[in-house]
Amino acid sequence: MIHADVVVVGAGLSGLTAAIALAEAGATVQVFATGHAATHWSGGGLDIAGLPGVATPRAGLERLSRIAGHPCAILAADVPAALAWLQATVSPEGLTYLGDLDTPIQAVPTAIGGTRRAAILPAAQASAHNAWAPDERLVICGLAGFKDFWPAAIATSLRRPEVWGEGGRPGRVDAVTVELPGLAERHNLDALVLARRFDEPAWRDAALDAIARAVDAGGGARGPGRIALPAVLGLDDHATVLEAARRRLPLEPFEVPLVPPSVPGVRLFQALRAALRRNGGRIQLGAAVIRVDVERDRVVAVATAAAVREFRVRTDALVLATGGIAGGGLIAHADGRIEESVLDLPVDAPSVEHWLNRDPFEPAGHPLEAAGLRTDDELRPVRLGSHEALFENVRIVGSLLAGQRYLRERCGDGVAFTSGWRAAASLRPTEPVALVGPASGRHEGGHR
């Protein structure tokens, strides 16, 4: 049986943040995950506190920190350091994020012809955030045969002033479609296929030149302006592709995130995974936890299913980053029970008759969204209604934390990377950690 100082369950933003920070500190880290997490579904930006009506992430964070029971009430002070750490961690992998807590939250275009409010964006999306000049043109550039980005429909919608809110907007919005080389016979083009083609230098240059000609033919290269492209500018060599696009296209390009799987989200995952491996951490996808061994108030081993027998890892600490209702960390049953999926920890949630609102599009969201686990300031799980830690060496991170309404508050990314960073700091040993003795029991839940 192998040993890891820390086992992390979950490979999303929170779990990988915790794993990398611990590995950087010299801990041996093993990450288990059943599959890819929310990174592959996100637009690639970092939403920290983009709730309606706030001007900057810092202002939103201050508001959330005053809500009793919200994760930001615990995490707010750590957000600046955690954000700086995350930006520095992914930058060596060719993924640069622009913006900070004081960057204005502004409207940027979406692939359905609307806008979303954002402040901290990958470099490939960041120019969409810059203020628009009154005479500036926005060219929506679609790719022939690619059905996840319809330029004419997007442009028609973005011509409506109300889409942009109170901020500035382009003076004109045009649409063009370009035939890219060698793709006319392809059916069901998807974003990952296109991103990998852009990684090929010769094809990339030909494709960018075709886009430049299409934009120029449509009049889009005359005067100031920007080009909105679907988010497919490379996957493994994204930084090189972006630099080439800026050099070869007649206007400043920016990417617009698409439906899942999100290429910008995959880039973020790949950068985090590379940082973990660079620091000696291990990650295993497709590995569901089937048992956790416990001694008194400590987890001592984690087991996953293997081909012919279980794979068991002794550990000194466990970080749960399994996600909330959407991520599978919480499982709702027809009888009204909500179960935490690894340790059967007590879940703070409304009663079943109050899970959902009558209006499916209620702006405030549904009460079930705030369900999760309660913790102390060290992110150890506690009994409901008390500050008694149930496990000394377990930390809860990400959307598994109760009290957040991450859809409306746009706080999910900030909670994720800051809680992962905080969990790592609380588990980081000041002295070498002694190995835990042999496991004496199997966890059967019941910590209610």
Q: What pLDDT is attached to residue 220?
A: 62
Q: Which residues of 64-76 are buried (b: 16+ CB within 10 A; e: fewer)?
A: bbeeeebbbebbb
Confidence of residue 221 (pLDDT cuts 50, 70, 90): low
Q: Is residue 390 part of a domain?
A: yes
Q: Is residue 155 part of a domain?
A: yes
Q: Kindly state whether residues 160 and 232 are assigned to the same domain.
A: yes
Q: Kindly state whether residues 245 and 135 are assigned to the same domain.
A: yes
Q: What pLDDT is attached to residue 448?
A: 37
Q: What pLDDT is attached to residue 446?
A: 41
Q: Which two tokens stand for residue 103?
A: 């960057």
Half-sphere exposure of 243 (CA within 13 A, CB side): 8
Give which of 393, 391, 403 is closest to 445, Cα–Cα. Answer: 391
Q: Is residue 393 part of a domain?
A: yes
**pLDDT tens figures, 6-21:** 999 999 999 999 999 9
Q: Kindly state whether residues 134 and 240 are assigned to the same domain.
A: yes
Q: Can you tell me the distance from the alpha carbon of 287 to that of 311, in angstroms, rounded to the nearest whole number?
A: 9
Phi, psi of 354 (to 5 degrees): -115, 15
Is the pLDDT at 101 greater than 90? The verdict is: yes
Q: What pLDDT is attached to residue 7?
A: 98
Q: Tokens 């400043």 — which residue?
A: 252
Q: Is residue 211 part of a domain?
A: yes
- Looking at per-residue pLDDT, the higher value among 261 and 158 belongs to 158
As for how many domains the chain has, the answer is 2
Q: Can you tell me the distance from the alpha carbon of 273 to that of 281, in angstroms, rounded to the nearest whole number?
A: 9
Q: What pLDDT is attached to residue 433?
A: 38
Q: Is residue 273 part of a domain?
A: no
In this predicted structure, which of 73-87, 133-147, 151-165, 215-229 has the lowest mean pLDDT?
215-229
Q: Can you tell me the distance from the alpha carbon of 447 to that of 396, in angstroms, rounded to the nearest whole number?
A: 15
CA distances from 157 to 11, 140, 145, 203, 379 (A): 36, 11, 21, 32, 44
Q: Kindly state whether residues 20 and 145 are assigned to the same domain.
A: no
**pLDDT tens figures, 342-375:** 999 999 998 888 888 888 888 777 888 888 999 9
Is the pLDDT at 447 greater than 60? The verdict is: no
Q: What pLDDT is attached to residue 128?
A: 96
Q: Kindly state whether residues 249 and 316 are assigned to the same domain.
A: no
Q: Kindly state whether residues 130 and 253 are assigned to the same domain.
A: yes
CA 408, 410, 411, 417 torsion-angle sign: positive
| Cβ–Cβ < 8 Å for 76, 61 | yes
Q: What pLDDT is attached to residue 219?
A: 67
| Cβ–Cβ < 8 Å for 121, 98 | yes
Q: Can you tell me the distance from the alpha carbon of 75 to that of 71, in angstroms, rounded to the nearest whole number?
A: 6
- Looking at per-residue pLDDT, the higher value among 378 and 327 belongs to 378
Q: In which domain, by residue range, is 393 found?
A: 2-6+13-41+291-298+312-412
DSSP state of 176: E
Q: Kindly state whether residues 133 and 208 are assigned to the same domain.
A: yes
Q: Tokens 């000696």 — which residue?
A: 280
Q: Kindly state whether residues 254 and 144 are assigned to the same domain.
A: yes
In this predicted structure, which of 15-29, 40-54, 62-76, 417-431 has the lowest mean pLDDT?
417-431
Give which of 36, 5, 422, 8 is closest to 265, Cα–Cα. Answer: 36
Q: Kindly state whether residues 243 and 349 are assigned to the same domain.
A: no
Prediction pTM value: 0.92
- If phi > 0 it is left, if psi is from -120 to 50 it is alpha, else beta; for residue 297 that is alpha
Q: What pLDDT is attached to residue 365?
A: 79
Q: Is residue 363 part of a domain?
A: yes
In this predicted structure, which of 83-97, 187-201, 380-394, 419-433 has the lowest mean pLDDT?
419-433
Confidence of residue 1 (pLDDT cuts 50, 70, 90): confident
Q: What pLDDT is attached to residue 436?
A: 34
* Helices and strands (DSSP H and E) totals, the chain: 12, 19
Mutual angle of helices 412-427 and 79-90, in 10-degree steps: 90
Q: Is residue 377 part of a domain?
A: yes
Confidence of residue 440 (pLDDT cuts 50, 70, 90): very low
CA distances from 95 to 18, 58, 126 (A): 19, 23, 12
Average pLDDT, the chain: 91
**pLDDT tens figures, 270-325:** 999 999 999 999 999 998 999 999 999 999 999 998 877 899 999 999 999 999 88
Q: Kindly state whether residues 132 and 195 are assigned to the same domain.
A: yes
Confidence of residue 431 (pLDDT cuts 50, 70, 90): very low
Q: Is residue 80 part of a domain?
A: no
Residue 354's CB: how many other CB atoms inside 10 A? 11
